[in-house]
Structure 1
Amino acid sequence: MENIKEKIINREVIASTQERKTQLGYIFWYSVTGEVEITRQELREKFEEIGIDEAWLPNEIRPSDAFRRATKEIQRRKMPTSDPNKFLNFLVREVFSDNNSIQRNIVIEVVDQNGKRLQYNPNATVMTLDKKNNDFIIWSEPNNDKARELAKEAEERFKKYLNYYSAQQLRVMISKILASLAPTAVRPNGGVYFVPQNFATELKKLQLLCASLQSEGVAIPLQDTSENRNLVVDKLESELKELLDRCKNLEKTDGVQKAIYKDSIEQAKRLASTYKAYREQLSLEVDKLEDMLNELRFSAVRLTEKIIKN
């Protein structure tokens, strides 16, 4: 049976020297199915087989994250009762967290057909994670069988999620790998990206990783034409302008969390690296982009100074 490394050789994105000369890059998009289940060791083995650096592996799963994921998933809304005009909501609310434990309660709401709250019980069932030994502790009021049943379901999910990554964690992992391939969004809301030709091999590895996760990674060749070059320049300019506007607004705003400043600074660094890759590999030299990039660098420096002052 053909293994993944053989697929990289036999299904190489660029099949000939001629294609290398006429191809600008790829239009790429991906999706991760919600049903995918994989452990860290299984994911590490896939990385090794495909040839992806282990540095891109997600962080090890924290019990607190597994607890929050499991308890969030048991929420239920508008469950019928014996009264056709009344429904039950089983909601999960976090009431306490420190270095030793996390407490989340199943809250029961009685609502009418319009969602108006008629009754409220904030302590129907209490779920606690003892961080010292990862014990999942359940306390439930009498006569709240459904809430207790949901808590037991959360406990079973927790035991599983201690070892299995969520689809969202895998999406974040793939987006980080993609970010290293100098992508430029070709749609205003993202989701579809241009990746330059010189990242073809790494992009193929990312495609194979998506496929190995029973998910999708699609790369469509983009030919090297003046029209397509203009498309790339326009999209990169749009991304630069959007980030520059955001950074300038942050410069004028006080009381913003440092993480927001840092995220914009990191995005500025990424775009600077992307433009450098495009300039070298695609022979792009656009004065307007150069000016915007310099302005973005100065704005990032000012944001850094703002972080230090605060």
Structure 2
Amino acid sequence: MSHSTLTAIPAQTTATRRGSAGAAAGLAAYTTAMERGDAPLFGYLVMYSIYGTETGVSHQELQRWFTELGLHQDFLPAPITPLNAYERVTGKTGVRTSYRLPESTPLSGEKVEATLMIRHVSREPHQITRHLVREVRDEGRLQLSYDPGLAEIIFQRADRRQPGAGSLQIVPNAAAIAALAPPEQDTVRATLAEVEDAYRRQCHFYSGDQLRTLIRTYIEALHAVRVRPSGGVYFVHRAHAAPLAGLRELVARFGAGSSLTRVPLPDDEEMREMVIDAFTTKAEEELTRLSLEIATARAEGASQAQVQALLRRFDAVKDSTTEHSARLATSLKSTEAALQLVHAQMASLLTSAC
């Protein structure tokens, strides 16, 4: 019995390897054929990953790359300003430091953790003020103490005629810092140095989140269909192959680890069904939300700006439905029916808003 088992395993492994090799060869041949135009191409599954939280990509560099790659300048993010940098560094996703303290709580003996974080204080015409605070919690997340002001982190606005211009000023509270144990004093000083360094970098370079937003916005503007509910994987029709190629090269220039992958899809019934299902689900969810918001706007009243925002969203779904109906060579009946209902609601809202 042991002999037959030993001889069966290599046979299965060999077959598996042959199958894998055959599948890989088949995929390679199919991909090559599509690149030559010898096989019907429906479109691409598109996935991307922007590595890291900080990049070395400046506005000038990004603008030059857009020109070189033939990408539409309308999708360029706004130029970086000192105010942008301050908001990112001191905002919710900005600098934050957590560390364990040597003492434990008197009753439970649980370990305690201190967190240095930045909290907003005031926003005035000439400056924005935020504080570096220290919060101490136990393992049960019960707050034990709170030091509200270890330092002021201030953005001094410059000439009001230059939006976003200004400078960073950090004012440590020497007495409050001196009251901490020496190791914590070092941690506070290191955190303040990190704020200053991060601000200096982000005055010149986009963050990873900003570049992710850029790529997502551009892909979605190509009438992309999100084929995974949680996002991150899109279908883009072959008609948009040129900008996709440009985006692929653009992401590669963001640095090591960043990539945009295009997986070619064959033009067959199964692929079409997948894309149609994904599109109709997304479109009908958006139309349902729109319907509820339009009903609320009619009942409670809405400003012209709010009405126009609803109209733009409706037009976007309508245009996308028209685009995909043509590209997919099919009638999206359920989506078109929902569009008609929301169109009637929208017309009624526009009439009442006049």
TM-score, normalising length: structure 1:
0.84
Which aligned pairs between 1:1-310 and structure 2 lie closer than 5 A?
Answer: 15-19=35-39, 22-34=40-52, 35-72=54-91, 73-77=94-98, 79-84=99-104, 85-132=111-158, 134-141=166-173, 142-144=175-177, 145=185, 146-214=187-255, 215-253=258-296, 265-301=311-347
Assess if the C-alpha contact under 8 Å between 1:89 and 1:108 holds in 2.
Answer: yes
Give the CA deviation at 1:183. 0.6
Aligned residues: 295
Alignment deviations for residues 176-233 of structure 1 (CA, whole Å, 9 cap, x no partner)? 2112211111112221111111111111111111112131211111111122222222
Partner Cα separation in structure 1 for residue 114 and residue 124 of structure 2: 31
Change (3 A) 1:256 1:23: farther
Partner Cα separation in structure 1 for residue 33 and residue 120 of structure 2: 48
Instruction: Out of 122-131 and 110-119, give the one that drifted further.
Output: 110-119
Assess if the C-alpha contact under 8 Å between 2:294 and 2:346 holds in 1.
Answer: no
Q: Which residue does the alignment assign to 2:6?
A: none
Assess if the C-alpha contact under 8 Å between 1:109 and 1:121 holds in 2.
Answer: yes
Change (3 A) 1:231 1:162: same
Change (3 A) 1:61 1:226: same
Partner Cα separation in structure 1 for residue 225 and residue 72 of structure 2: 22
Change (3 A) 1:113 1:282: closer
Assess if the C-alpha contact under 8 Å between 1:71 and 1:92 holds in 2.
Answer: yes
Provide the secondary structure at the position in 2 that maps to 1:218. Answer: strand
Partner Cα separation in structure 2 for residue 110 and residue 152 of structure 1: 21
Give the CA deviation at 1:114. 2.1
Change (3 A) 1:171 1:241: same
Residue type of the alignment partner of 1:41: Q
Greater C-alpha radius of gyration: 2
Assess if the C-alpha contact under 8 Å between 1:102 and 1:130 holds in 2.
Answer: yes
Change (3 A) 1:137 1:13: farther
TM-score, normalising length: structure 2:
0.74
Q: What stretches of structure 1 of length at least 5 have no aligned partner?
A: 1-10
Residue type of the alignment partner of 1:179: E
Residue type of the alignment partner of 1:125: A
Percent of aligned positions with the same letter in both sequences? 24
Q: What stretches of structure 2 of length at least 5 have no aligned partner?
A: 1-30, 105-110, 159-164, 178-184
